[in-house]
A and B are shown apart, each in its own frame.
Chain A
């Protein structure tokens, strides 16, 4: 605590605690240029964490829909396909709208660049999208069209389309973790081993929440189990982030990111417990539990995102770990 306290003192010059009495702890444990940030904060706004949620939701729903299709659960299949595609449409909007030049979104398609997770993700989405769209369209065909030849063909294509979406769905759910990790943002880069599990867990939990919310109790068994497993993975992985040694972890365990992630944990845990208990009998409880899982996923994404933003705004998160690394190297120790 004393070390952490000193560090917080060190950058406490402009904290928002107002008139709190300053203690006599030595101030600076790191040096900086007038306390100004070293890094640029991400230019991404709320649309990107929102996309992290909708993208994960869409991917999880595609997996759920494929399973429901193969095990003959028509209601779960229908709502998961339609919900998954709706989430994909929302994702597309969020991704394009967040660009500085939205009209140039197609420039993403002029190269395929393995070193850029955003380029890799673009192509994963390109591969994923058509299957999701086709399967969802087949579900919402008006009765008049269903009987016609194109309508019958479309319904025939729905299963392969849904399965193709399910094949790419795990990629959609997990690439976003690499997208955030491959940055100089200390909190994201430091959590690079845990983030994929937080994000896929969160994707599974949110899609399961959608299934519990929209499908009848009799069909939603797999959704409830997926919700419980996804929630457990999300909570465990996110707890592992909180336990990482080093100053950067504070970006997750203090302030607004901490509050968001704590709330996420309660909601996710509540949703998972409901899924395993009450939701097996009551439709209302299933809906409430499903909503809790989805809300937990939203807050997890925003919490993680904001932890990253916070860690770029304070030079301590950049200077302190790097200085420590240099010192360790000088002393012949190998850190990281």
Chain B
């Protein structure tokens, strides 16, 4: 409890810090998004194994991602981003071929513009007439098509609970329902949770949430039941490209460093590790990522900090305010005498 860096800063052994004496090595996920193909097998496997209820079959109208974000009933979430930018020095091999995007430049512009200003982010497309730029002075088919072609890339990333070294949700839980397992992961005990909702606001990543019809908080357990039986979590097991790697965190960190170096060498200079650094605001993540753009593009906070960092400072301020209240309450009786 009082060990140095219990609340903030690098911490070698979170499970030991939580009181586990003989415990296995810290386990984690390394999600290498450069090989993610967006198949969502992880989302499905997670739902199947953990018996998570359906959470709305919605079409979000923004991309192939219709899960939106992690939540009480989505413990894996595959983000999908389309960008006008090549991947590293990648050559799509289309440079001199007379093919282009399926739409005209005008149509593309209209759609792109409408997507940006549309109230429903594109969900209302097709409900009103759009100007496709006709009539035109150019003969139809006058261009070769190459002039309208754009470079683009798809980013896909399977998001999950980060199982932080310093977990905001765990720190604020008032019932002890959230606990640190012997594997260094963070798990909610559904038989203890009374649905106070504090963890929801304590998480700097917006991962954990309360299930409305059930009243309790839920999130990824890193398949605690499977781990105890020596199995890998369902999502990692199901991942067909090994984008989701599971193992001892030390090993994953070494793999990730090697992979990052290889990508940089191959010219993918935008590749970066996220949550790898034990010096960051949450003491490093148990589930970390290799990203191909800034974290916020994937819906991740760029520099999350565990709120517990400021615990002492906040109580000191509250202490001063409380003392002032006591002093003033006494003073108003003394000063006025018996008026």
A and B: bona fide binding partners: yes
B interface size (C-beta, 8 A): 79
In the assembly, what is the distance between CA of A322 and CA of B304, in Å?
A: 7
**A192 lies within 8 A of B174 (CB):** no
Is the pair B322, A170 in contact by a Cβ cutoff of 8 Å? yes
Task: List 14 interface pairs A-B (beta carbons < 8 Å), by A numbering.
Answer: A33-B79, A35-B121, A40-B206, A42-B201, A43-B209, A98-B197, A170-B325, A174-B321, A184-B307, A197-B321, A230-B328, A322-B302, A326-B302, A326-B303
> Is the Cβ of B338 less than 8 Å from the Cβ of A107?
no
Max chain A Cβ within 10 angstroms of own Cβ: one of B119, B207, B324? B324
- Which residues of A pack against B, CB within 8 Å? 13-14, 22, 27, 30-40, 42-44, 60, 63-64, 66-68, 70-71, 98-102, 104-105, 107-108, 110-111, 113-119, 122, 166, 169-171, 173-175, 177-178, 181-185, 189, 192-193, 195-197, 199-200, 203-204, 221-223, 225-226, 229-230, 233, 312, 315, 318-319, 322-323, 325-326
By beta carbon, the residue of chain B nearest A336 is B305
- Over the window 188-217 of chain B, the binary record of Cβ atoms lying under 8 Å from chain A Cβ atoms (1 yes, 0 no) is 000011111110111111111110001111
In the complex, number of A-B residue pairs with CB atoms less than 8 Å apart: 247
User: Given the complex, which residues of A lie within 8 Å of B195, measured CB to CB?
Assistant: 99-101, 104
Q: Which residues of B are found within 8 Å of A108, using beta-carbon distances?
A: 174-175, 194, 196
Partner of B68 from the list A36, A122, A182, A225 (CB cut-off 8 Å) is A36
- Decide if B174 touches A182 in the complex (CB within 8 Å): no
A171-B322, A182-B311 known; A67-B197 Cβ under 8 A:
no
How far, in Å, is B43 (CB) from chain A's closest CB? 16
Q: Quick one: which of A35, A38, A113 contacts B206, CB cutoff 8 A?
A: A38
Classify the secondary structure of A's interface with B.
helix
Chain A neighbourhood of B201, CB < 8 A: 40, 42-44, 183-185, 312
- Chain A nearest CB, measured from B9 CB (Å): 15
Q: How many Å from the CB of B162 to the closest CB on chain A?
A: 12
Q: A182-B308, A184-B201 are in contact. List 4 more A-B contacts (CB 8 A).
A: A33-B81, A182-B202, A185-B201, A226-B328
Contact of A31 among B63, B177, B215, B297 (CB under 8 A): B297
- Shortest CB-to-CB span from B244 to chain A, Å, is 19
B329 at the interface (CB under 8 A from A): yes
Name the CB-closest residue of B to A321.
B303
**B321 pairs with A200, CB closer than 8 A:** yes
The answer for the CA separation of A227 and B313 in the assembled complex, in Å, is: 28
- A60 CA to B324 CA, complexed, in Å: 12
Chain B neighbourhood of A312, CB < 8 A: 201, 206
Please give the distance in Å from A112's CB to the nearest CB on chain B.
Answer: 9
The answer to whether B314 touches A111 (Cβ under 8 A) is: no
Contacts of A203 in B (CB 8 A): 325
Q: A107 contacts which chain B residues (CB < 8 A)?
A: 175, 177, 192-194
